[in-house]
């Protein structure tokens, strides 16, 4: 799923906006909070949105309340501790803090936005929860017990890991060149050595070792970015993700050497239904089948191309095997974590199937965000039998996880024995962490197909999620401004521009003659199949002795 509406012109938000704009908050508003439950009468636009949501089974109403207790068999571990948000010295909210933090679902505090609540939003400044040493429990965090008792309520260690992998998936968008007037449209803006540093992700302690390129032999005009220029870096391929590996410090914290594969999504939610009226295609040697378009992206190659003489499948598996061989030779425990959003989440599952098939015994884990269904029931069952652990993060208002098979598949799940042989029946894989847009007071709750599907919306909700019985946690760390990077999901009273993420002056620079021009890329950031192959043959710098390891490709 392509983000960046500002730098990806064909993405258009499909929304049903309220006919009544939020009233402006008066500067002198100092009234006490009315804590009596009260519901406002919905206007015609809201009733229309509710009707559509019922038609689409989106359930955009208030989250179901149920009594849950935080349960875990990790008796030695406690909930993470956070610093208390800084309070304004002008307001004493001590008597009303439960209401401000959602004890009445922020009833009568959002429209108009109460100044005390606004004050809390502005002062909740930390952007990252403290890192914990999870080395003794990493297998449970990565699904060895199917995340039993860790999802509802969400264990803070698991939450931290989900956000980390989600930010890797977001990086595939943030560094992608969506500019159709750029000669490098469809490539990554930075070389792999600078990627995490440029995006502020070096805090996670991973290093990118290889970029992944993909093409397709079927007509998928919406799934790839094309340059309008005649001479471009590639006419056939797009950058579709990367392989990274944890450094020594991070590996010590998480209990093993972690190889990560992050896949990029590309298409808008409104395009999924049209694009996915395709047949299932066999994968492997059994009855497992996956959607034809996904497999084409993953397997397509051509000798006439510069970047896809090898398929995305061959590129990623060759690099994973190389890294696995290197770290196994050093006596280290190694895991493979595959992540992606939207289309990227689908490719992550196909990738996991191949990895588990060709590398038996390797711990393979998938953490996906807003991913569609990928294959049939046999595909699901084979992944389970091979030990692949899959955690799907889903916003229940998001349409994409309901596709393919928008109407029929959910209701047919109970008839596995009958539907397992039908080519048009898809099913999801693994455990599900379901989020609700309505749980956050910072998000607009009106119908917004694009906003519901954006990865930054997902990451905001994950970071704030405690349980289905509660609203967003008051000590959530992630910057809420990020939600509006490529959509319009934040309430207007926060005064955050929508779709604000773009290069300064949309990438134009003023040259020495005072002319505004497209800049030339630094030579080190220009994609080159020669340098990619050179990096692959040379391998990596030996981390203990600082010497180059002469590792050969598999």
456 phi-psi bin (left φ>0, alpha ψ -120 to 50, beta other): alpha
Q: In what helix (H) or strand (E) does residue 245 lie, and over which residues does it extend?
A: strand 238-246
Q: Measured between alpha carbons, how far is 307 from 504 in angstroms, rounded to an integer?
A: 30
Please classify residue 504 by burial: count the beta carbons closer than 10 Å to its beta carbon, then call 0-12 exposed, 13-18 middle and 19+ buried.
exposed
Q: Is 342 a catalytic residue?
A: yes
Has 227 been annotated as catalytic?
no
Structure-token pair, residue 10: 């064909």
Q: Is 453 a catalytic residue?
A: yes
- Cα(188)–Cα(208) distance, integer angstroms: 13
226/186 Cα distance (integer angstroms): 6
Structure tokens at 140: 């449970």
Query: Exactly one of 335, 342, 368, 439 is catalytic; which is it?
Result: 342
Catalytic residue among 398, 436, 463, 535: 398
- 3-class SS at 108? coil
Residue (of 328, 318, 335) closest to 259 by Cα position: 335
Q: What is the 3-state secondary structure (H, E, C) of 371-387?
A: CCCCECHHHHHHHHHCC
From the number of C-beta atoms within 10 Å of its C-beta (0-12, 13-18, 19+), residue 405 rates as: middle
Distance spanning both ends of the chain, measured CA to CA: 32
* Helical residues (DSSP H) of 255-402, grouped into ranges: 269-275, 292-299, 312-329, 343-358, 377-385
* CA dist 5 → 15, 195, 223, 267, 450 (Å): 14, 21, 15, 12, 10
Catalytic residue from among 8, 204, 341, 453: 453
DSSP secondary structure code for residue 36 in this structure: S
Instruction: Tell whether omega for the bond before 91 is within 30 degrees of 0, i.e. cis.
Output: no
| Residues with active-site annotation | 342, 398, 453
């Amino acid at each position: 799923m392509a983000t960046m509406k500002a730098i990806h012109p064909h993405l258009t938000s499909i929304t049903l906006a309220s006919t009544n704009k939020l009233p402006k908050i008066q500067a002198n508003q100092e009234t006490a909070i009315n804590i009596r439950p009260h519901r406002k009468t919905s206007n015609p636009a809201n009733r229309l949105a509710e009707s559509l949501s019922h038609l689409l089974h989106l359930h955009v109403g208030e989250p179901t309340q149920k009594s849950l207790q935080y349960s875990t068999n990790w008796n030695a571990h406690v909930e993470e501790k956070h610093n208390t948000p800084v309070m304004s010295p002008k307001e004493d909210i001590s008597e009303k803090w439960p209401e401000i933090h959602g004890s009445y679902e922020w009833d009568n505090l959002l429209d108009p936005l109460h100044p005390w609540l606004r004050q809390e939003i502005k002062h909740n400044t930390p952007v990252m929860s403290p890192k914990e040493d999870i080395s003794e429990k990493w297998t449970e965090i990565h699904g060895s017990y199917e995340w039993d008792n860790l999802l509802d309520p969400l264990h803070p260690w698991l939450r931290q890991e989900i956000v980390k992998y989600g930010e890797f998936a977001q990086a595939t968008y943030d560094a992608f060149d969506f500019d159709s007037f750029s000669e490098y449209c469809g490539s990554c803006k930075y070389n792999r050595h600078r990627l995490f540093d440029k995006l502020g992700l070096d805090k996670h302690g991973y290093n990118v070792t290889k970029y992944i390129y993909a093409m397709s032999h079927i007509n998928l005009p919406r799934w790839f970015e094309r340059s309008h220029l005649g001479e471009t870096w590639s006419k056939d391929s797009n950058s579709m993700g990367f392989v990274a590996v944890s450094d020594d410090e991070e590996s010590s914290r998480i209990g093993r050497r972690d190889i990560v594969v992050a896949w990029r999504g590309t298409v808008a939610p409104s395009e999924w239904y049209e694009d996915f009226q395709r047949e299932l295609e066999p994968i492997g040697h059994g009855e497992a089948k996956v959607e034809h378009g996904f497999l084409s992206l993953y397997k397509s190659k051509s000798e006439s191309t510069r970047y896809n003489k090898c398929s995305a499948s061959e590129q990623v598996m060759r690099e994973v095997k190389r890294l696995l061989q290197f770290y196994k030779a050093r006596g280290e425990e190694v895991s493979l974590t595959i992540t992606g959003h939207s289309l990227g989440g689908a490719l992550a599952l196909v990738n996991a199937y191949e990895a588990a098939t060709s590398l038996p015994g390797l711990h393979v884990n998938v953490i996906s965000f807003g991913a569609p269904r990928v294959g049939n029931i046999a595909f699901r069952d084979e992944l389970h039998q091979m030990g692949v652990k899959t955690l799907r993060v889903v916003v229940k208002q998001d349409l994409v996880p309901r596709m393919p098979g928008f109407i029929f598949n959910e209701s047919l799940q109970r008839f596995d024995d009958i539907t397992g042989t039908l080519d048009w029946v898809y099913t999801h894989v693994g455990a599900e962490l379901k989020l609700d847009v309505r749980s956050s007071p910072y998000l607009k709750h009106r119908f917004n197909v694009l906003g519901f599907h954006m990865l930054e919306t997902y990451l905001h909700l994950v970071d704030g999620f405690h349980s289905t019985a509660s609203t967003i946690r008051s000590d959530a760390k992630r910057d809420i401004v990020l939600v509006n990077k490529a959509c319009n999901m934040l309430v207007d009273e926060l005064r955050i521009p929508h779709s604000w993420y773009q290069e300064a002056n949309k990438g134009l620079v003023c040259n020495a003659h005072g002319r505004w021009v497209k800049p030339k890329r630094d030579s080190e950031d220009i994609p080159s199949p020669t340098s990619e192959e050179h990096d692959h043959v040379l391998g990596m710098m030996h981390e203990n002795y600082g010497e180059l390891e002469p590792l050969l490709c598999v």
